[in-house]
Amino acid sequence: MKLTIDALRSLYSSGNAKPSDVVAEMYQRIGREPHQPVWISLVPREKALARARELESDQSTVRPPLYGIPFAIKDNIDLAGMPTTAGCPAYTYSPERDATVVERLLHAGAIPIGKTNLDQFATGLVGTRSPYGACSSVFDARYISGGSSSGSAVAVAKELVSFSLGTDTAGSGRIPAAFNNLVGLKPTRGLLSAAGVVPACRSLDCVSILAATCSDAHKVWRATKGWDGRDPYSRAPRPGDDAAPWAGGEFRFGVPAQDQLEFFGDQEYAGLYQAAVARLEQLEGTKVEIDYSIFRAAADLLYSGPWVAERLAALQPFFEAHAADMNPVVAGIVGAARRYSAVDAFQAEYRLRALRKASELEWLRMDVLVVPSAPTIYTHQQIAADPVRLNTNLGYYTNFVNLLDQAAVAAPSGFRPDGLPFGITFIGPAFSDPALLDLADRFHRSQTDVAGSRVDLGPCPPGCIALAVVGAHLSGQPLNRQLTERRARLLKTTKTLPCYRLYALKGTEPPKPGLVRDEGFQGPGIEVEVWAVPENELGSFVAAVPAPLGIGSATLENGEVVKCFICEPDGIKGATDITHFASWRAFLASQSLPASV
């Protein structure tokens, strides 16, 4: 039984299985191996089955989007009626209310199976800092699973659940995804509520999603995102904040300069990264070398700066009374916060602001940053011998992302000769989550057979409005810069329905056509280019459109309705009907005018 969301939907729709059958199978699979280290606690089997039967008894004609989908929850996220430990028995409490993300998943029809292991208090990228045992990569038990969302990753990789919730402050959702050949989505800060989540660094924390495919991660993201009054850091995008006009087509991807790449001697990972870069170039990507030292400088602030004091702020009363009950490595990291002062915090904030400003210059050159998810992978023995330094090495490509307010998606990218997986991470500005998932999905499918549906962004890229242009704004025409200056990207060249006429307007500079709908007319259809324009840029674009032209709606030959240049009826007085040319370019060519006039 495959556990992707599409596979389970198909089973349920066909009547070949019910949610209670899937839940029963999950508990059989879980029972075949030791309870720990993957799980800290399980929802009682009968309670999970009761939840499944409740869904089955619902007679609604439309099923919720995650109907009957089993999932796991990192044990620093609250599930009402189950203990939350954060990987520390002495810290355990019993929440009366679900975390907001869990509430939304239950409302969407998902079924919780249990609480998973983690690096204690989500402090670590290794998955070994837990009294409940150390998880391993599903590909080789000698190697670490990655952390801190260790159990959440292994539960999905072993097909014990369809997806899982983790958290990601410094890479805790991306590193275990990479080491277990999964997709790991680190959403934009605040886009998924952190209410009901034990804080690590409250101003940086994110709930992460681990899944087998980008499509599954996208479905879970859609079910859980949104503003939440319970979380003071919750936020939603304003118009245009999530604009990614490059999504689905050509894109520019940044890579660190060659001398800024670091693999700590792992030549296999280095080679796999170069292979991934070459594959992205085959997917309409243009490689751009960027100055990665800016991003590394920001990363250094996370653990070598006063942000570590946030970990103490989250735990101070407990830490003062129970430091001896904590993992010694975790206690050492949290306790080190005492050496930082308020002056240190302000100076670090000033430094971070400067680095953000410097990074903005790099973002002008790229749409997405692509880095290895991890520079290498370590054995349990190696981590035990040098736990802090090697953990720091693992964060070489992850630690800066939340500090610089970016989103990220880790995706599988092949295997070393010894069978251990490698992954790359797609990083973008805040609110670029769906566009990153779409590109990661394209990449993932380019190298292996990925079951299920593709990430569905709809007919237009996120945060954009589809605008059809017919004349002086076409590619290569004199006003096309009004689109490109607003970051618009060409989506496609197509035609209108046959019921449109085209006129060469009189006395316009530069020369312009007018598009007019005539319901009784059957012509050839008029060639148009459809551009994706960021929502927040369309207003200034429309303001520059002179009479008799305006922006209305037009119907394309496939029935799609898009915004489009139209002409006022008065504007065609004295104009020349050029409909038979079927395009502005064809008309210009007939007049022996250069295309750039």
Active site residues: 74, 148, 172
In this structure, are residues 568 and 545 in contact, taking their beta carbons and an 8 Å threshold?
Answer: no
Helices (H) and strands (E) in the chain, counts: 18, 21
> Which residue bears the tokens 């012509």?
523
DSSP string, 537-589: HHHHHHHTPPTTEEEEEEEBTTS-EEEEEEE-GGGGTT-EE-GGG-SHHHHHH
Which strands make up the sheet holding 549-555, listed edge to edge? 489-495, 527-534, 464-469, 561-567, 549-555
Run of H or E residues at 502: strand 500-504
In one letter, which amino acid is 530? V
How far is residue 526's CA from residue 296's CA, in Å, rounded to a whole number?
Answer: 51
In this structure, are residues 209 and 221 in contact, taking their beta carbons and an 8 Å threshold?
Answer: yes
Three-state SS annotation for 37-81: CCEEEECCHHHHHHHHHHHHHCCCCCCCCCCCCEEEEECCECCCC
How far is residue 43's CA from residue 27's CA, in Å, rounded to a whole number?
Answer: 10
Nearest to 178 by CA among 39, 375, 4: 375
- What are 322's strand-pairing partners? none
DSSP string, 133-201: ---EETTEEEEE--SSSHHHHHHHHTTSSSEEEEE-SSSTTHHHHHHTT-EEEEPPTTTB--TTB--SS
In one letter, which amino acid is 343? V
In one letter, which amino acid is 204? L
- Residue 141 in tokens: 């038990």
> Which residue bears the tokens 């509430």?
103
- Could you give the dihedral angle defined by the CA atoms of residues 384, 390, 392 and 395, in that order, rounded to the nearest 10 degrees? -110
Q: Cβ contacts of residue 415 below 8 Å, gap of 6+?
A: 139, 181, 272, 421, 422
Run of H or E residues at 297: helix 293-303
- Residue 270 in tokens: 């280095």
What burial class does residue 580 get, using C-beta atoms within 10 Å of its C-beta: 0-12 exposed, 13-18 middle, 19+ buried?
exposed
In this structure, are residues 386 and 109 in contact, taking their beta carbons and an 8 Å threshold?
Answer: no
Nearest to 260 by CA among 138, 375, 129, 173: 375
